[in-house]
């Protein structure tokens, strides 16, 4: 586990470095519904069991990103975090990302086969602010029960780049199974600083 983590961290070191304006990816476009959309968002049929199975088939975990129109913190996520090339490269390598609208009326089928509008499903999961990211491990594919029962980690609100990137690694490398996120933040910051990297944890 340690060697795998070290290799991952070496590939992930640039996440700690601020990106210059010319290195950033283009800004996300607004959809007709008012949500920021990314070209790499998964476009499925909102059958979450199928999405999770597809993620597993690709060797990825599933990330459900819940946003709403007019959300300033959602805008910050797209304007800052999701314009960083290394962040997006790691995110799309490790996760299949499905975006849901907290106020949306599209029909979504939960893992347990229950179908309801986005806004009702989000309420069922107990999510009441945005952005919220729900991380579902690939191993949950084929399991019974609603998606909420299989969430490994929740990102409750907007995380700045260092914490966002650290959460991605914490889940993707399965550290969440035995680890403590706050401790992992501190350990990762110490590792990067020891290698002469600037770390902005605020």
Residue 71 has pLDDT above 90, yes or no: yes
| Per-residue burial over 108-134, b = 16 or more CB atoms within 10 Å of its CB, e = otherwise | bbbbeeeeeebbebbeebebeebbbbb
Residue 145 lies in a domain: yes
- Range in 16-25, 61-70, 80-89 with the lowest mean pLDDT: 16-25
| Number of domains present in the structure of the chain | 1
Q: Is residue 40 a contact partner of residue 92, using CB atoms and an 8 Å limit?
A: yes
* Angle formed by the axes of helices 85-94 and 2-12, nearest 10°: 140
Which of the pair, 11 or 78, is modelled with greater confidence? 78
Residue 62 lies in a domain: yes
Percent of the chain with pLDDT over 70: 89
Confidence category of residue 105, pLDDT binned at 50, 70, 90: very high
Residue 12 has pLDDT above 80, yes or no: no
Residue 124 lies in a domain: yes
Residue 132 lies in a domain: yes
DSSP string spanning 76-141? HHHHTGGG-HHHHHHHHHHEEEEEEETT---EEE-TTS-EEEHHHHHHHTT--SSSEEEEE-GGGT
Confidence category of residue 10, pLDDT binned at 50, 70, 90: very low
Residue 182 lies in a domain: no
Q: Is residue 61 a contact partner of residue 94, using CB atoms and an 8 Å limit?
A: yes
Domain of residue 74 covers: 33-158
pLDDT computed for residue 198 by the predictor:
86
pLDDT in tens, 190-200: 999 999 988 88
- Residue 37 pairs in a beta bridge with 29
Percent of the chain with pLDDT over 90: 85
Residue 1 lies in a domain: no
> pTM to 2 decimals?
0.88
Residue 154 has pLDDT above 60, yes or no: yes
86-91, long-range: CB < 8 A, 24+ apart: 86/12, 86/14, 86/15, 87/15, 87/161, 87/164, 87/165, 87/168, 88/25, 88/38, 88/40, 90/11, 90/12, 90/15, 90/165, 90/168, 90/169, 90/172, 91/63, 91/168
pLDDT in tens, 119-128: 999 999 999 9
Residue 188 lies in a domain: no
Report the pLDDT averaged over residues 100-123. 97
Which of the pair, 30 or 10, is modelled with greater confidence? 30
CATH number at residue 114: 3.40.30.10
Query: How open is the CA angle 157-18-13, to the nearest 5 degrees?
Result: 90
Confidence category of residue 20, pLDDT binned at 50, 70, 90: low
Residue 7 has pLDDT above 80, yes or no: no
Residue 106 lies in a domain: yes
User: Can you give the length of the chain in residues?
Assistant: 202
């Amino acid at each position: 586990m340690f060697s795998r983590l070290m290799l991952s961290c070496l590939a992930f070191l640039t996440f700690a470095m601020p990106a210059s304006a010319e290195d950033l990816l283009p800004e996300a476009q607004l959809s007709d519904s008012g949500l920021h959309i990314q070209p790499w968002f998964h476009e499925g049929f909102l059958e979450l069991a199928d999405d999770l199975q597809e993620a597993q088939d690709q060797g990825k975990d599933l990330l459900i990103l819940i946003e709403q129109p007019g959300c300033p913190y959602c805008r910050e996520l797209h304007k800052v975090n999701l314009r960083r090339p290394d962040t997006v490269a790691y995110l799309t390598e490790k996760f299949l990302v499905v975006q849901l609208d907290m106020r949306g009326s599209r029909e979504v089928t939960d893992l347990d086969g229950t179908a309801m509008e986005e806004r009702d499903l989000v309420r069922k999961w107990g999510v009441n602010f945005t952005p919220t990211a729900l991380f579902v491990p690939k191993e949950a594919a084929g399991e019974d029960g609603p998606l909420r029962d299989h969430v490994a980690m929740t990102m409750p609100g907007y995380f700045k780049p260092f914490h966002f990137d650290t959460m991605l690694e914490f889940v993707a490398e399965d550290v969440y199974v035995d680890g403590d996120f706050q401790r992992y933040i501190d350990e990762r910051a110490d590792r990067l600083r020891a290698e002469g990297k600037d770390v902005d944890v605020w």
